[in-house]
Amino acid sequence: MDGITLSSGTRIPVLGLGVYQTPPGITERVVREAIEVGYRLIDTAQYYRNEAQVGRAVREALSQGMAREDLFLTTKIMASGHEESRRAIAESVAALDLGPIDLMLIHWPQEDGPGTWRALEEAVEAGRVRAIGLSNFYGQDLEEIIRGARIMPAVNQVESSVLYQQRRLMPALERHGIRLEAWGPLGQGRRGVLDDPVLARVARAHGATPAQVALAFQVRTGVITIPKTVSRDRMVENLGAADIGLSAAELEQLAALDTGRCIGWPGFPEQDYDPADHPFSPPA
């Protein structure tokens, strides 16, 4: 699978599996199946309460001959300030039990973002984490981290889909070499994202599904993409998006679908909303 080299020098697969809202009781099975069908990027978080299960599934794959360097593990900490964040980092490293974590993110803005970032930088320098980044950071929260960073964030993981392409955020990220990583790339099944006639038309041209085309658009425009599913068949379908080649004309048509408004997270009322207008985004 294609990968993207982050500013840290770490190479991350362009398409992975997210385990948000995957119950701990089935997470180990889901991650094991994801690795079996070809996923090499798994994204979890302390907030998801399934880090330990992700770690067990990965260790099983390693025991069967998978090389650790062929798998990329991301997690996110929910902490504020230097000391609290140092403890959170240690907890995630212990829960995953896989040695250095490939990428660790601040899950969402907290009161003392700079203190948390300093703890993450120290974790990189100590060899406990290979790359660090942000999730759900916009505006002043993002700039505050960038201004004080010794190590620049490698990614900012935010909601992004063919209908919400983060055009307001992208210039700030590009100025600092920060890559966009997408949660909710299929719109979480809301607002009929996959019913769009343009997606359907492009999908027919490629013998693909609208979901595959939505993901392929992200991949072909350089967005690291982590759809979530617990279905093995859907895992295979989503992973196949990485092999779909879209023409320049098709990419232009899909880019025109951008509404500039996010869909939000499960439980959030469906309405026009842009996190760039607000200081806080909830965890993904």
CATH classification of 11-188+220-228, choosing from 3.20.20.100, 3.40.50.1000, 3.40.1170.20, 1.20.1050.90? Answer: 3.20.20.100
The whole-number pLDDT of residue 194 equals 82
The domain ranges of the chain are: 11-188+220-228
The whole-number pLDDT of residue 277 equals 58
**pLDDT average, residue stretch 207-214:** 96
Segment 48-93, tens digit of pLDDT? 999 999 999 999 999 999 999 999 999 999 999 999 999 999 999 9
Segment 127-162, tens digit of pLDDT? 999 999 999 999 999 999 999 999 999 999 999 999
Q: Per the annotation, where are the binding residues? A: 107
Mutual orientation of helices 197-206 and 210-220 as an angle, nearest 10°? 90
| CA angle at 8 for the pair 213 and 38, rounded to the nearest 5° | 40
Specify the DSSP class assigned to residue 245. Answer: P
With bands split at pLDDT 50, 70 and 90, how would you rate the model's confidence at 195? Answer: confident
29 Rama class: left (phi>0) / alpha (psi -120 to 50) / beta: alpha
With bands split at pLDDT 50, 70 and 90, how would you rate the model's confidence at 193? Answer: confident
The whole-number pLDDT of residue 279 equals 44
The whole-number pLDDT of residue 280 equals 42
Residue 266 has pLDDT above 80, yes or no: no
With bands split at pLDDT 50, 70 and 90, how would you rate the model's confidence at 269? Answer: very low
CA–CA separation, 126 and 150 (whole Å): 14
With bands split at pLDDT 50, 70 and 90, how would you rate the model's confidence at 121? Answer: very high
The whole-number pLDDT of residue 282 equals 43
Catalytic residue positions, numbered? 48
Among residues of the chain, what percentage have pLDDT more than 90?
87
With bands split at pLDDT 50, 70 and 90, how would you rate the model's confidence at 274? Answer: low
With bands split at pLDDT 50, 70 and 90, how would you rate the model's confidence at 271? Answer: very low
Q: Per the annotation, where are the binding residues for substrate? A: 107
Is pTM beyond 0.75? Reply is yes
Q: Which residues have CB under 8 Å from 183's CB, separation 6+?
A: 18, 20, 135, 157, 158, 159, 160, 226, 284
Which class for 202: exposed (0-12), middle (13-18), buried (19 or more C-beta within 10 A)? buried
Q: Is pLDDT larger for residue 194 or for residue 184?
A: 184
Q: What is the mean pLDDT of the chain?
A: 92
Among residues of the chain, what percentage have pLDDT more than 70?
91
Q: Contact 20/284 with Cβ under 8 angstroms?
A: yes
